[in-house]
Amino acid sequence: MSHSDPNCIFCKIIAGQIPSKKAHEDDQLLAFHDINPWAPVHVLIIPKQHIATLADVAPEHDALLGAMLGLAPRLMKQLGVSNGFRTIINTGRDGMQEVQHLHMHVMGGPRPWVRG
C-alpha cells in the first residue's frame, strides 16, 4: 500500500531525505509546516502513500481522505489556532497544483496574512 515515488519531493520528506518541521505523524499521514507560509500557521497534511492528485483517488481512499480532513481541526487546535482556518487542496494544472503529491493546505492564525 505505501507506494512511494523516488522523484517526489514530499515522498523524500516522508522518508526523511529532505528535512521538514513536522506537526503530526501517524501510520498513514504526515503534517509539516509549509516552507513558504501564507498565514501565521500554514501546514500541509499529506498521505504517506504517494497519490499524485485528488483527481487520482478511488473509493478505496475514502477513509484516508476522511483522516486528512479530520486531522485538520485537531492540528489547528494543537497549534493554537482558535479563530478559524482555511483548508485548500489544489488539484491539477488549472488548480495550480505545484507539487504532484496530494496535500491539503491548512492555514490559520490572526490576520493580516501574507496571502490567501
Task: Report the catalytic residues.
Answer: 103
Site for ligand AMP in 83-102 (CB under 6 A): 90, 96-99
The partner in contact with residue 9, picked from Zn ion, ligand AMP, none with C-beta cut-offs of 5 to 8 angstroms by kind, is ligand AMP
Site for ligand AMP in 7-26 (CB under 6 A): 9, 18, 20
Residue labelled with grid coordinates 496574512: 113
- Closer residue to Zn ion, CB minimum distance, 14 or 23: 14
SS3 category, 77 = helix
Site for ligand AMP in 43-62 (CB under 6 A): 44
CA distance 76 to 68: 13
Quickly count: other Cβ atoms within 10 Å of residue 95's Cβ: 12
Q: Is 11 in the site for Zn ion (CB under 5 A)?
A: yes
Q: Is 42 in the site for Zn ion (CB under 5 A)?
A: no
| Cell numbers at 2, concatenated | 505505501
SS3 category, 86 = strand
